Amino acid sequence: MSDQIQGGIAEAMRLIQEGELAEATAVIQRALGGSSLAEGIGYAPVASPDAPSGAGEPIDVESSVVDEAPHPRVASGPAAGRGPATAPRPVASPLLFGGVPLTVPGGLPGLQGLPGAMPAPKEGKTDPTVVPTGGRFVERSYTNQAGTRSYKLYIPSGYIGQEVPLVVMLHGCTQSPDDIAAGTQMNVLAEEHIFLVAYPAQAQGANMNKCWNWFKASDQQRERGEPSLVAGITRQIIDEYKVADGRVYVAGMSAGGAMAAIMAEAYPDLYAAVGVHSGLAPGAAHDMPSAFAAMHQGGPATPRRDIPTATATEQSARIVPAIVFHGDHDKTVHPRNADHLFEHYCTAKRTGRTDEAGGSTPRGTVRQGQVPGGHAYTRATYRDAGGQAIVERWTIHGLGHAWSGGSSSGSYTDPKGPDASAEMVRFFNEHSPRPA
């Protein structure tokens, strides 16, 4: 029996246990169809890992399908209405991504009067860019000693139990999983290239504007606070689905981008690469006053030393490669924060933190480009001695606090920018386990 059929049967059994009989039947039919799946986003399949232990065992797990599209599978290829936002790319390269919101700490007086305060987010439950044909968007929850967070998981129609990558997307203030999924169109990418996408949801009880608490010292440490919840969600998915070893990524926008940077800093053994859009460096703030200062003036990375950010192992000392996007007209999170992120990763390299190639001096290149009819951009890349990117920084000229190349079906997006979604997925694809 082929691995594909075995994986399909295993996934079908899991769906039957959840009561999803129609979906289980469809999975078996696809498995027996003999199509060559499991390339994820261009990776070579590797052995499935043992799931790492989390910060406290899950106390409660709930699962239900909240959005499901009819089952005939869409053909692979660009989504309707998503033309190229940058220069033409190879046929196998990824597609377009979308938008998100601001990074203002929640519960602050006068928030609605701040420049850039966001309107009510758009919900996209019936939008085919949120739930492409044949895919499923399930709502679940994770609980540990730090609390409970719900999340939504997109499962593409091509997933039949084979090993696939996982991308964890962290929304910005006032957003929801549906909103960021609509704006980024990450589920469309997942449907085309076959990978899972998780969207943790910040609880309004934890922050009245649903911002991730990136600015609180208590939410910046490994196995503490909100990082432990996001990591727990990640591990829960690894436990229950076949996530390929070394193919887990985290990304976010604004408050979500700042938390994504914290996750990469605190869990370099869990995430293979990180994408930060309009965010801040880890440790850029430790309370509300310093958060405002960092947002409006730029805050350097200052990881706390009183509580270790990771265990003292070679793996935890590795640099997590980062791709950083920021608009130079951002009035909500100062563009200087992208400078600090860039410096953080390059300085970590120069001061001896390990990378896979073991080189000591990063090599940099700078390129400039222009989206036809849209924004110009500057792209700076630093690579290790083996030629792999340590950090890639995109400065989008004329872009405000919005996701570059985003879809108007989500909040805080700008379709005139270069395609941040495609570039993030391309960057993630480049950071996969190297053949032995």
The pLDDT of residue 362 is 62
Residue 181: name the closest of 169, 172, 173 by CA: 169
Position 8 in a domain: yes
214-240: string of b/e by CB count within 10 Å (b at 16+)? bbbbebbbbbbbbbbbbbbbbbbbbee
pLDDT tens digits for range 293-343: 999 999 998 865 444 444 445 455 678 999 999 999 999 999 999 999 999
Domain that holds residue 19: 1-36
**Do residues 234 and 358 both lie within one domain?**
yes
**Do residues 21 and 53 both lie within one domain?**
no
**Do residues 245 and 96 both lie within one domain?**
yes
**Do residues 108 and 32 both lie within one domain?**
no
Position 295 in a domain: yes
The pLDDT of residue 384 is 85
Q: Classify residue 162 by its DSSP letter.
A: S
Q: Residue 169 is part of a domain; what is its CATH number?
A: 3.40.50.1820
**Do residues 340 and 422 both lie within one domain?**
yes
Can you tell me the distance from the alpha carbon of 369 to that of 375, in angstroms, rounded to the nearest whole number?
Answer: 9
- As for how many domains the chain has, the answer is 2
Rounded (5°) CA angle 69-232-160: 35
Q: Classify residue 113 by its DSSP letter.
A: G
Position 412 in a domain: yes
**Do residues 181 and 143 both lie within one domain?**
yes
Listed as ranges, residues in the chain with pLDDT below 70 are: 1-9, 12, 16-17, 19, 21-22, 24-126, 303-317, 348-362, 434-436
Q: What is the DSSP pairing of strand 63-68 with strand 136-144?
A: antiparallel
Position 41 in a domain: no
**Do residues 26 and 59 both lie within one domain?**
no
**Do residues 4 and 133 both lie within one domain?**
no
Position 100 in a domain: yes
Position 355 in a domain: yes
**Do residues 25 and 79 both lie within one domain?**
no
Position 424 in a domain: yes
pLDDT tens digits for range 52-95: 333 333 333 344 444 444 333 333 333 333 433 443 333 323 22
The pLDDT of residue 138 is 96
Position 435 in a domain: no
For 86, 394, 395, the CA distances from 417, given in Å and listed in that order, are 8, 11, 10
**Do residues 259 and 123 both lie within one domain?**
yes
Residue 314: name the closest of 355, 261, 344 by CA: 355
Sign (positive/negative) of CA torsion 406, 163, 66, 145? negative
**Do residues 144 and 230 both lie within one domain?**
yes
Query: Chain-wide mean pLDDT for the chain?
Result: 77
Collapsing DSSP to helix, strand or coil, 259 comes out as helix
What's the whole-model pTM score?
A: 0.74
**Do residues 27 and 134 both lie within one domain?**
no
Burial class of 300 by CB neighbour count within 10 A (0 to 12, 13 to 18, 19+): middle
